[in-house]
């Protein structure tokens, strides 16, 4: 089995299409989508693109799929019970507007689909052994850790899995480290990476490669600005000039494993 792992697409259809073109040339026979397909400027189109692929596609949920589900349910009940945040507190106003817009765009038909996506997925990969795919950590889709997080804080999360590799995303930065006897890899973000502009993903089997796909980011930004997404201008600006990884590592250190 040769797997392309795509995380944190966030409705960036141009980036997704560029990665899928690379995947078709990579020899991958399976795609694992590691959560946070949405929200973003082209949520329905991105989801449909993945569902229409000829290759087998396996999905796990991210915090944002669960947040969209909560918003859709809240439209019926008037109460939102999940926010997808580290603290469990409601989203900031701009993020909330983006999530509500995405929930409206996708509509209730997406509920059974997102609800069926598991938190983790375990697959046997030739050359690697057992690989556990999760969005943030195996126990939570909201927890934060980075390549700077101390091993002693991470070993309780990974030592008991019996997996050779854990593949995650959530923090939008590629990383590859060992935690005890487990190789822990962050695939990065297809749609909204930090650091250099590119579409990031991972290819597994028989080795493990962190990939970065170049594409016309300026054209993608123009397309995003022409969308109806409430956060289109800030999304496009961040796509053209992503925040520096060091700045994001400093920020995430305030929330890691809380």
For residue 258, what pLDDT is reported?
Answer: 65
pLDDT tens digits, 9-63? 999 999 999 999 999 999 999 999 999 999 999 999 999 999 999 999 999 999 9
CATH code of 142's domain: 3.60.21.10
Neighbouring CB atoms inside 10 A of 94's CB total 11
Into how many domains does the chain fold? Answer: 1
DSSP string over 70-134: HHHHHHHHS-------SSSPPPPHHHHHHHHHHHHHH-GGGHHHHHH--SEEEEEETTTEEEEEE
Q: Is it the case that residue 123 has pLDDT exceeding 80?
A: yes
Range of the domain at 171: 3-252
Any domain includes 196 = yes
pLDDT tens digits, 146-166? 999 999 999 999 999 999 999
Contact between 50 and 37 under an 8 Å Cβ cutoff? The reply is yes
pLDDT band for position 1 (cuts 50, 70, 90):
confident
Any domain includes 204 = yes
Any domain includes 27 = yes
pLDDT tens digits, 193-248? 999 999 999 999 999 999 999 999 999 999 999 999 999 999 999 999 999 999 99
For residue 257, what pLDDT is reported?
Answer: 86
Any domain includes 248 = yes
Any domain includes 258 = no
For residue 244, what pLDDT is reported?
Answer: 97
Any domain includes 223 = yes
Any domain includes 23 = yes
For residue 159, what pLDDT is reported?
Answer: 96
Neighbouring CB atoms inside 10 A of 249's CB total 18
pTM confidence score: 0.97
Any domain includes 257 = no
pLDDT tens digits, 83-110? 999 999 999 999 999 999 999 999 999 9
């Amino acid at each position: 089995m040769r797997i392309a792992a795509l995380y944190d697409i966030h409705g960036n259809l141009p980036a997704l299409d560029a990665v899928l073109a690379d995947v078709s040339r990579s020899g991958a026979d399976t795609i694992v989508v590691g959560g946070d397909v949405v929200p973003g400027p082209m949520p329905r189109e991105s989801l449909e693109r993945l569902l229409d692929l000829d290759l087998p596609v396996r999905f796990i949920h991210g915090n944002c799929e669960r947040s969209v589900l909560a918003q859709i349910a809240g439209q019926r009940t008037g109460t939102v019970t999940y926010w997808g945040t580290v603290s469990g507190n409601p989203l900031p106003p701009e993020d909330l507007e983006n999530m509500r817009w995405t929930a409206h765009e996708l509509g209730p038909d997406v509920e059974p689909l997102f609800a069926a996506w598991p938190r983790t997925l375990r697959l046997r990969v030739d050359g690697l052994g057992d690989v556990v795919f999760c969005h943030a950590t195996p126990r939570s889709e909201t927890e934060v850790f980075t390549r700077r997080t101390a091993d002693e804080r991470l070993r309780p999360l990974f030592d008991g899995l019996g997996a050779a590799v854990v593949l995650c995303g959530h923090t939008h930065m590629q990383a590859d480290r060992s935690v005890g006897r487990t190789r822990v890899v962050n695939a990065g973000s297809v749609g909204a990476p930090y650091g250099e502009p590119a579409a990031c993903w991972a290819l597994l089997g028989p080795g493990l490669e962190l990939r970065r796909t170049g594409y016309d980011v300026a054209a993608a930004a123009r397309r995003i600005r022409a969308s109806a997404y409430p956060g289109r201008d800030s999304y496009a600006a961040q796509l053209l000039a992503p925040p520096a990884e060091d700045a994001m590592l400093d920020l995430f250190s305030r929330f890691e494993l809380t």
